[in-house]
Chains A and B, each alone.
Chain A
Amino acid sequence: MRIQRIFVGALLISGISACSKNAADAPGASSANEAPAPADTAAAKPAAPAAPAATVIALDGSSTVFPITEAVAEEFQKTNSAKVTIGVSGTGGGFKKFCAGEIAIADASRPIKPSEADACKAKGIEYIELPIAYDGLAVVVNAKNTWAKSLTVDELKRLWEPAAQGKITKWTQVRTGFPDKEVHLFGPGVDSGTYDYFTKAIVGEEHKSRGDYTSSEDDNVLVQGVAHDPNALGFFGLAYFEENKDTLKLVPIDDGVDTNGKGPIAPSGETVANGTYQPLARPIFIYVSKVAIARPEVNAFVEYYLKNSEKLVKEVRYVPLPAHAYELAMARYKKGVTGSLFNGGSQVGVTVEALLARE
């Protein structure tokens, strides 16, 4: 039966993966188990796509929120038999799945947009919005930069607004007294929530900025870019600065508002949490489906999330909300308050406690 040989290769290869089925003892591909049975029969009857057991808690969304959710999931699973799965398809991608009823919880680095809220409404999905941490956006320059000791929001706006494209190309145009050197800009790609928030806070309009800057979806690429270019200026999550303090320099930002701290203020755990590092500190969220919390394991997970965020958020290098804010968030969750605190857009310069306390 020579024809069978043609499939031997395929079967053998799948046999290797099949033998790793019992992954605890043989996950390596090293043992060439010749029995292809499991994968073979599995493929023969592609079973109905029934959801794999009700004890799976599915999450998806922002890559910014991912490390926090990962930490919570890791700890939660030590005490609970439910399985947590997390996907990273971006805040927008996460809401798409969330409003299609595919996942229980969405990770979001910005509040839900009206169009997304409408999509949820159309499917009858009610949600509870829970802030879980602050994320500070750091504005950084090269370690050799001696002049940019601080910048104002207006100066940043002059540098980043759409009208600056092709025109504002020298440091001296940012502030008189700065050297007559070219300025090279680095920032996250336009699909990221970080970009959306930065443009809203600095330019004033969400998703609007000059296009002639070097962008990357990978913040480590931005770090490398700024670290190797003495004329560079870039922005990204504060954690990326803290891991690269030796090659980067933080630029304190002055928002021109004295009520939340006078003069230029550098981002730190403290200034982000107490609302003085403005406007580049933002809350990040999880959105919980009201249908899903009827499941006891999802309910347990959300409560665990709020109770342990303070410790775990710090551990993965984000800024926790004040303890009081977590209590307010828990109260909001327990009451089952649906809808968004933000009416469809990021609000700049408002602390989460203030928003939660309004309820």
Chain B
Amino acid sequence: MSGAQLSSPTTATTRRRGLYSERAFYALALLSIILPLAMLAIMLLGVLKNGGARLSWDFITSYPSRKADHAGILPGLVGSLYLMGLTALIALPLGVGAAIYLEEYGKQSRMSRLIEVNIANLAGVPSIVYGLLGLGLFVRILHFGRSLLAGASTLALLVLPMVVLVSREALRTVPRGLREAAFALGATQWQTIRQVVLPIAYPGILTGAILALSRAIGETAPLVVIGALTYITFVPDGVDAPFTALPIQIFNWVSRPQKAFIVDAAAGIVVLVLTMLILNGVAIYLRNRLQKRAS
């Protein structure tokens, strides 16, 4: 007589069945993380295999050239970094501000619901449309010219809905009770937002910022529309300078007939991915540090 027979057969079956579904779900969950990671790995290995040999300090610090083995990605890289910085500077304060207004100050009116629906819709508008808007608004009407500032403003518009949506979600996760406690202690609404709500919502907001900027760094179409260049042999010296960006340079190389340029394109993709990883890494580090401080 073993111990197993002592327990009733039904509970054993249920438990076994529970165990099976537990295992099945675990396997499914594991698969759904492995699949995308494997695809990403295959892609990365592919570009590394193709472009790895071209990756060097020279490649990163050289200007484009008609000779594929002398061509470098410097203007694209610097242009993209500038764009990211400026886009963050424009989109984050605006987006977080809008989210705070909608979530903390705004009343549930028909108007605010209309704004909400429109922001959600804007998040789905194709990027080329933002490019055309940027061309009309920033380049022509506001006379930014075909400059970094016009590019960054356009990208900021493009990611703004995403920043607003994610920031609102983050603000919503802050328990109502905390706000009420702050009010009970005599804090004003601004003090409550500043000292109670934002510190808790901050990690969520940063996650949104990471997603938004990752999208912005890969955009080509809106930048081409507002007049980003393809060949430029100097780095921008101000926000009013002409510029190019990594994806534009990569696209140009991919469409050249010579195989050597395709290799350059692969190396350019590695640089783009690395840049994104580093930017995200910094943001995630920051998020974790602030998360610790907030708790």
Contact = CB atoms under 8 A, between A and B. Distances in A.
A277 B238 CA distance: 49
Interface in B194-232: 194-195, 198-199, 202, 205-206, 209, 213, 224, 227-232
Given A85-B242, A237-B257, A10 B88 contact: yes
Interface residues of B, number: 68
A303 interface: no
Interface in B244-271: 252, 254-259, 262
A71 B83 CA distance: 27
A67 B194 contact: no
B279 A83 contact: no
B92 A88 contact: no
Interface stretch (A42-50, A158-166, A207-215, A282-290): A42-50
A49 B81 contact: no
Contact of A70 (B206, B231, B242): B231
Interface stretch (B24-32, B108-116, B143-151): B143-151
A226 to B, nearest CB: 14
A16 B252 contact: no
Contacts of B262: 220
Contact of B279 (A29, A60, A84): A29
Contacts, number: 188
A38 B32 CA distance: 43
A179 interface: no
B282 to A, nearest CB: 6
B180 interface: no
B229 A87 contact: yes
A52 B93 contact: no
Q: Decide if the interface of chain B is mainly helix, strand, loop or mixed.
A: helix
A177 interface: no
A62 to B, nearest CB: 11
B143 A49 contact: yes
Contacts of A85: 229, 231-232, 242
A89 B283 CA distance: 35
A243 interface: yes
A14 interface: yes
Interface in A195-237: 217-220, 237
A122 interface: no
A77 B233 CA distance: 9
B283 A9 contact: yes
Contacts of B86: 14, 17, 39, 43
A323 B242 CA distance: 36
Interface in A5-30: 5-18, 20-21, 23-24, 27-30
A137 B223 CA distance: 30
B85 A14 contact: yes
A33 B145 CA distance: 29
B282 A84 contact: no
Nearest to A28: B60
A74 B66 contact: yes
B213 A13 contact: yes
A63 to B, nearest CB: 7
B205 A50 contact: no
A66 interface: yes
Given A8-B286, A13-B88, A84-B231, A218 B254 contact: yes
A9 B209 contact: yes
B240 A88 contact: no
B74 interface: yes
A2 B81 contact: no
B77 to A, nearest CB: 6
28 contacts: A3-B194, A7-B92, A9-B92, A9-B209, A9-B287, A10-B92, A10-B93, A13-B88, A16-B279, A17-B83, A17-B84, A23-B74, A24-B61, A27-B61, A27-B74, A27-B77, A29-B77, A43-B86, A51-B145, A84-B231, A87-B229, A97-B227, A217-B255, A220-B257, A237-B257, A239-B258, A244-B257, A316-B66
The 4 closest A-B pairs by CB, nearest first: A14-B85, A17-B81, A17-B85, A86-B231
